[in-house]
Structure 1
Amino acid sequence: MNCTHLPHRTANRPARTAINRPSGPTTAAARCAMPLIIVLAALVLVVMTGCQANTNPEFGRLDPALPYTRIMINDDELARALVFDEPIVLRDEEGFITQVEVTVRAAAIEALKVDYRPRFKSASGTTLQPESSWRTKLMEKRVPEKIVMRPTGRNAMDYEILFRWAR
């Protein structure tokens, strides 16, 4: 019998060695378990990285329980990009507004160009004339800017500040 196709046998060496043995799992269950283990490991890795809490502080946002209803912004994106301190209202002896100061900051990652306009109202709620024109403000990122507004008339009892993207 010619056995040239069989591996060479020596006295101390079996016919099947580690060199020609199949590597890896040999049963169907073992072959299916390996990809499942890899998929589960990848899933655990994704879940673990997604569950890390954001530890960055939230700087100067308005308290949602105390909104400044006199500051009006016509765009949701702009509303998220601006952060306000509480307005300071100065009044004369008779209670009329002489000046309104508000500190605003661009919370965005870039500078913003916005228009703003104060609107002063009388005790009855009517808008005082002449109404102020829109003013443009370039706001550097994360730098507080103080905006000072004065009514054109003498009998201002209330105010609103309108903000929009610059045109």
Structure 2
Amino acid sequence: MPTHPGPIYFRIGRGQEPDVYPPAAPFEFGKAVEHGTGTDLTIIATGSTVHPALGAAHRLNAAGISTGVLDMHTVKPLDEAAVLAAAQRSGLVLTVEEHNVLGGLGGAVAELLADAGAGARLVRHGIQDEYALIGPPTHLYRHHGLDTDGIEAAARKALDPAPASQR
């Protein structure tokens, strides 16, 4: 494995999540894995949220909503080129992470989009800034909307053109 100069931040599962890749799949720090490109929405997921994000994207695509998924396994260094290309292509980015919505993947993507002046809309989906519950991961994912149903619902809400005050 090549060395990477400087600090890194990447997300890995606890070993209980369904496999997304075969065992010998290539891995490169700072290089997102693209699972299709969407013109309506790009979901950028990390860690344990990648599998349910792929499920949500499958459902959305089947419903005629062009949705791509980026597996951003490495939050630092962030694959800036992949994020900016996705933002330009779809105009709407939904970050999904098993993490507080403050900081982490959503924060890194927000900073990049703002610094680049990329006029895309960003919605950060994850654990809200509140006291965390304790329980089995599958129950907590469902509670926080980090399962396939919850991610699909967050995506559909993000795609809703009505102002938040009219929803």
TM-score, scaled relative to structure 2: 0.26
TM-score, scaled relative to structure 1: 0.26
More strand by share: 1
Q: Which has the larger radius of gyration?
A: 1
